[in-house]
Amino acid sequence: MNKLVTFGDSFLAQRRSFEEAESRSWIDYVCRENKFRLDGYGDGGTNPYNAILNFLDYNKDFHTCFFSWSHIFRVIYNNRRLIDIANGYETAQEQIDIPQQELSKLYYKYVFATDEFEWVKAQAMLEWFDRHLQENYKDKKFIHLYSLHISDKAFYPHIFKHGINIKPHLAEFSYIGGEDYNHADRLIHLTTEAHQLFAKQLNKVLKDESLNNGDVVEFSLEI
């Protein structure tokens, strides 16, 4: 079986694929359809820097790689743990302890630059990583997914030249069946119908030999 590796946030936070009787997620459907063996490294609440670091640390061979690119403003602290997200420390207070809350406040008060400067840093990082993929992984297949609405001005921090870019955001699929995408019954945020819809379209992309690196494919949200 060919190996599929995944890096990103909670939308890819599945470590292994399951057999047909247990299939629940779009990742399971994709693995079964394409005879992939999953090696998953998605980690909830993390940022693109974390995905890149995990990929660079990965020293095993693979056939295909999926990335879910999340909020560039998320901050990693203490062995890559999340201390905050883009919309202010208040949204993370219930998830972190008091010292981390205080650190988060201090970070945003004294270290965090303007949104515009943080965008420049993130875009430079992603452009470098794109070139790194082009130069070192010419024979590998990459699928770039985008997790969240980041801002009104820039929904997609970088469109990759190496790999296929998928729109819209995974968050849009998480709204199928209601907007409570953190509901306990959902696996990696999606309903059963959304998993099946997303998998069907991604399987077509993986089999479409007419697609080229740098292409952007728009998925339908219609069940």
DSSP 52-112: HHHHHH--S--SEEEEEE--TT-EEETTTEEEE-TT-GGGGTTTS-HHHHHHHHHIIIII-
- Classified as helix, coil or strand, 167 is strand
CA count, 13 A, side-chain hemisphere, 14: 25
Q: One-letter amino acid identity for 184?
A: A
pLDDT at 9 over 50: yes
Residue written as tokens 């693995």? Answer: 31
**Average pLDDT of the residues of the chain:** 82
Residue written as tokens 């999926």? Answer: 66
pLDDT of residue 150: 57
pLDDT at 204 over 50: yes
Q: One-letter amino acid identity for 63?
A: H
pLDDT tens digits for 33-78? 999 999 999 988 788 988 999 999 999 999 999 999 987 777 665 5
Residue 103 CB neighbour total at 10 angstroms? 18
pTM: 0.86
Q: For the chain, list the domains and their CATH numbers.
A: 2-81+117-218 (3.40.50.1110)
Omega of the bond leading into 168 within 30 degrees of 0 (cis): yes
